[in-house]
Amino acid sequence: MAPRIKIPATKYPVERFTLGNGLRVVLSPDRSAPVVGVAVVYDVGIRSEPEGRTGFAHLFEHLMFQGSENLEKLAHFRHVQGAGGTFNGSTHLDYTDYYEELPSGGLERALFLEADRMRGPRLTEENLRNQVDVVKEEIRVNVLNRPYGGFPWLKLPPVMFDTFANAHDGYGSFEDLESATVEDAQGFFDRYYACGNAVLSVAGDFDVAEATAMIERHFGDVPARPAPSLPDFAEPGLTEEKRESYIDRIAPLPAVAAGWGVPDPIGDFTGYLPYAVLAEVLTDGDASRLVERLVQRDRAATNLGGYIGFMGDEYQVRNPTALLLQAHMPPGGDAGKVLQTIDEELDRLVTDGLKPGELDRTQARMATRLLQGTDDVLGRAQPMAVLELQRGRPGLLNELPKLVSEVTDEQIVAAAATLRPERRASVEVIPGAAQ
């Protein structure tokens, strides 16, 4: 076995300040490439949707692109792309983000655009109806017309959780989407899109003093509005196994996903982090425990994945969340057998511990992935914004490779020991299109 490789770290600088109106700002300058990433993150996500309004956080994300105080519909897209940049937004369980990546000469324009929609998007009946149609097509593309659509991120939460906040469909039902009103949208904006409930982050090629002046110029007069109080979404964990299955009419082969509750990612990061590493020990690459056993040896699965958070955002999710394992199986595959084998392998890990080098190599690979993510300006701006929003610690991004490398064998074994069948929820895909 090769000697243990040294895990390097990044040293991206981090500057933080808060504007008079309560908007938190994170700056991370780096002049190595002439590009900037801008992210604005609001502390509202799928979990905050009211009952009867499933999918509303995501629908609202679409409405934020439909014009704003000084901008016509379509102007946002044209101004970002006309500055040579790209843009998007995404809706998660605990936050909604908006971001641009541009040649550095477009920074002030991006700040102007974000500030303008923070003051107020154009919430019109016409824009709402148009975007309800667009979102329905998005759901058709990603869920209804596609095999395994929504598996497991839309399918496992209702098995695992009981409360509406945690269990409902984040893409939303067509019925709820169609009945959404402009008044709902205005109420959602007023409540959650306060500048006190947001973080602006800029990474890449800029001068800190110049960028600070630009930010004050564009965001400084956004009216101050405080953040709403954040609800506690915690639920008691499972005490007996829960299993469900459903027929996917266009899927040709079976699949299964299982989830176990994990410690609070924010309140108990030390307790949580070993689970993030454990997921990789179990599933990262052909030398990982479960791939070796289930894919290579038993041929009980053709693909296997493991990660934390239903949307794969392990350092950007709040409590409660889960460690997930998902397997796609060959024809006739037996989900029960796969789950039983996972239990066996977890038992073996708990009893025998890790093999020499097993944890080191997993940590080395995790470091590569973390570092590769930060090579992109948005790979810094976006997570730093969320880390500031949720933890007040944007610099944690620089520390993650090292923190991951400090997780010990004992912590991995202790984490594995909690993944008991009676704490597990699972959902099985029955292939409706099997020959």
Q: Please give the Cα distance from 115 to 118 (Å, whole number).
A: 5
Binding part of the chain for other proteins, among 177-185, 230-238, 287-295, 392-400 by CB under 8 A, reads: 287-295
In the region spanning residues 250 to 269, those forming contacts with other proteins, defined by CB under 8 A, are: 250-253
- Cβ proximity to other proteins: between 47 and 361 the closer is 361
- Cβ proximity to other proteins: between 129 and 348 the closer is 129
- Cβ proximity to other proteins: between 253 and 335 the closer is 253
Q: Which of 78, 381, 19 is nearest to 205 (CA)?
A: 381
- Binder among 90, 245, 302, 418 for other proteins (CB under 8 A): 302
In the region spanning residues 122 to 151, those forming contacts with other proteins, defined by CB under 8 A, are: 129-138, 140-141, 144-148
In the region spanning residues 311 to 340, those forming contacts with other proteins, defined by CB under 8 A, are: 328, 330-331
Asked if residue 185 binds other proteins (CB under 8 A), the reply is no
Residue 198 exposed, middle or buried by CB count within 10 Å (0-12, 13-18, 19+): buried
Q: Please give the Cα distance from 272 to 322 (Å, whole number).
A: 10
Q: Please give the Cα distance from 126 to 400 (Å, whole number).
A: 45
Binding part of the chain for other proteins, among 48-56, 71-79, 164-172, 189-197 by CB under 8 A, reads: 71-79
Q: Is 392 left (phi over 0), alpha (psi -120 to 50) or beta?
A: left
Q: What angle do CA 60, 64, 66 make, to 5 degrees?
A: 115
Burial code (b: 16+ CB inside 10 Å, e: under 16) for 221-238 equals ebeebebeeeeebebeeb
- Binder among 187, 226, 267, 285 for other proteins (CB under 8 A): 285
**DSSP secondary structure code for residue 49 in this structure:** P
- Cβ proximity to other proteins: between 300 and 425 the closer is 300
* Min dist. Cβ of residue 264 to other proteins (A): 29
Q: Which helix (H) or strand (E) holds 127?
A: helix 125-139
* Min dist. Cβ of residue 354 to other proteins (A): 13
- Cβ proximity to other proteins: between 292 and 347 the closer is 292
Secondary structure class of 69 (helix, strand, coil): coil
With CB under 8 A as the rule, give the number of residues binding other proteins: 90
Binding part of the chain for other proteins, among 66-74, 194-202, 226-234, 236-244 by CB under 8 A, reads: 66-74
- Binder among 55, 89, 106, 157 for other proteins (CB under 8 A): 106
Torsion sign (Cα): 143, 149, 153, 154:
positive
In the region spanning residues 365 to 404, those forming contacts with other proteins, defined by CB under 8 A, are: 365, 367-368, 371-372, 374-377
In the region spanning residues 23 to 42, those forming contacts with other proteins, defined by CB under 8 A, are: 30, 32-35
CA dihedral 16, 19, 23, 27 (to 10 degrees): -30
- Binder among 21, 90, 104, 245 for other proteins (CB under 8 A): 104
Secondary structure class of 170 (helix, strand, coil): coil
Asked if residue 2 binds other proteins (CB under 8 A), the reply is yes
- Cβ proximity to other proteins: between 1 and 209 the closer is 1
